Chains A and B, each alone.
Chain A
Amino acid sequence: MTSPVIEASNVTVAFGDVVALDGVTITTPSNSFTAIIGPNGAGKSTLLKVLLGLQRPTTGSVRVLGGAPEALDRSALAYVPQKKTFATQFPATVLELVVSGISGGWPWRISKAHRERALVVMEQTGVTDLADQSVRALSGGELQRAFLARSLVNTPQILLLDEPAAGMDMRGEAAMYHILCDYQSKHGATVMMITHDWEGARYHADQVLLLDRRVVEYGPAREVASEARLLSLFGHRGHVHETHAEGDSHA
């Protein structure tokens, strides 16, 4: 663990009377993989928005790579949104989507250098064959992999992902974890990912942040993301384990 890349100090975000985040303090080092787990409405996406500079904290402060999130160089940070908010009727190909990550604008034309750079990450996420496919024609899993490729194309120091495995099958999810872990170790990057898959988080992440508007627990993944801990904190053991539990009860 080295110097902190993300520092949130006593961050509170309120929308009128509704408190989305309440005094959240976290410090995330470089070359680390943090999974954020919590129930719906726990403020997970709000926390990412604060780190992205899209949402100002009502109180508290945030520093990303030593500065304000709004002032961060766009190529240093990449984001994969939870609900793919793009206009589904927009005529776009997968290659254009990935190239848009390089320039931070929509490509009028794609240079050879940008095409080659995009194809490298598309190869990693397994969407090379979809390069000329319309984005709106992609399945949920293909879409996630296309957005993942887009997020990696600038080799960012920080990768923020909001439920990137949503819509993926088990094989796709395993491949995604492999890509993220490989990217983190290869580039010493800071990966922060919202997930409901606590088993995957325990296995792949270095740290787990249990969030329920406030920090419930934040520490090493193997300690925090345990079955007993989740059961005691949230009253359930997560959707993955419930499937097992149902199987057990039938047995």
Chain B
Amino acid sequence: MLEMMAFPFMQRAFLGGILIALMASFYGPFIVQRRLAFLGSGLAHGAFGGVALGMFLGQEPLLVAIPFTVLVAVAIVWVRSKTDLEADTAIGVFISLSMALGIIFLYLREGNASDATTYLFGSILALNNYDIYLSLVALLGCLASVPLWSRWAYATFDETLARVDRHAVMRDEYILLVSVAMLVVISVKIVGILLVSAFLVIPAACARLLSRRFVHMMWWTLLVNTGGVVVGLLASYAINVPSGPAIILVQSAAFGLAFLYQRFARSA
């Protein structure tokens, strides 16, 4: 099995997957605890609009998708803050809008749009050095937001108390969602638009079932996410199935085990 590591594309797959897993483990618990699980999908669809715009303009799709998706994230927070709409409604509106724009951009683009399917389904085995550098830059951004962990967690626990303690809750939420938007865009190449939210949601949901403290939830999320990448890639190589879905199946299996643990072992 170890001979797989001799392939450069496999080395990039492990490195890229683990980098994404590290970042998703930092943001995922906030997404799950704020009931924004739908957000990952919403932003991924926003990324689709951005990728299609990049292709239409003849630019590097991910570089166009980043500001496009950040704009979608800002719009979701802004609409939520200015109306009585729930988050899922605001996200639903922007999913549809981004998809519609994406389809129009692809239609207007000359030539076939088959390369867009790369972004729909992703391919962790097709990562190049540029993707790895982009992930490393995103990781630096993630590390820069570590000091915000305590504020984000506090506002996640109780927004009113955070406001009383003079936290700029709205500003912090913008930063969180913009950071998640950037992560989503970068992850799109790995697992694709259709599955990208799995990195943010499944490990954190699994961790929630196992944790009594938020900080423990972060560590469990990290373990399931990185473990999912390593085991998923090994499994996909061994049984010759697509790598992205294999990673997500491993994460889902961990969720199933956590569910059974909580259901039976804890209550025993």
Contacts and interface: CB of A to CB of B under 8 A. Distances in A.
Interface of A: 52, 54, 70, 74, 77, 79, 81, 85-87, 89-93, 96, 100, 103-109, 134
Interface stretch (B18-26, B137-145, B163-171): B163-171
B262 interface: no
Top 8 closest pairs, chain A to chain B, by CB: A106-B153, A105-B150, A104-B165, A86-B158, A106-B154, A90-B157, A91-B211, A85-B160
B82 interface: no
B222 to A, nearest CB: 14
B33 interface: yes
Contacts of B34: 87
A87 B150 contact: no
Interface stretch (B70-78, B192-200, B212-220): B212-220
A100 B161 CA distance: 10
Given A92-B157, A134-B212, 13 more contacts: A54-B164, A70-B166, A79-B164, A81-B160, A87-B34, A90-B156, A92-B213, A93-B212, A103-B150, A105-B151, A106-B150, A106-B157, A108-B215
A87 B164 contact: no
B208 A91 contact: yes
B149 interface: yes
Given A90-B33, A105-B154, A52 B212 contact: no
A90 B157 CA distance: 6
Given A54-B163, A81-B160, A108-B149, A91 B154 contact: no
B154 to A, nearest CB: 4
B131 interface: no
Nearest to A52: B164
B81 to A, nearest CB: 15
B88 interface: no
Contact of B150 (A52, A86, A92, A108): A108
A109 B219 CA distance: 13
27 contacts: A52-B164, A74-B165, A81-B160, A81-B161, A85-B159, A86-B157, A86-B161, A87-B156, A89-B33, A90-B156, A91-B213, A91-B217, A92-B157, A92-B213, A93-B213, A100-B154, A100-B157, A104-B165, A104-B166, A104-B167, A105-B151, A105-B154, A105-B165, A106-B154, A107-B215, A108-B149, A109-B215
Interface in B38-69: none
A105 B214 CA distance: 13
A100 B156 CA distance: 13
Interface of B: 33-34, 149-151, 153-154, 156-161, 163-167, 208, 211-217
A80 B182 CA distance: 37
Contact of B212 (A85, A91, A106): A91
A84 B51 CA distance: 43
A204 to B, nearest CB: 24
Q: Which of A74, A87, A91, A92 has the most CB of B within 10 A?
A: A91
Nearest to B211: A91
Contacts of B166: 70, 74, 104
A109 B151 CA distance: 14
Contacts of B164: 52, 54, 74, 77, 79
A90 B161 CA distance: 14
Contacts of A81: 158, 160-161
B191 to A, nearest CB: 26
A160 B159 CA distance: 17
A87 B33 contact: yes
B66 to A, nearest CB: 29
A8 to B, nearest CB: 18
A157 B244 CA distance: 56
A103 B20 CA distance: 31
Nearest to A73: B166
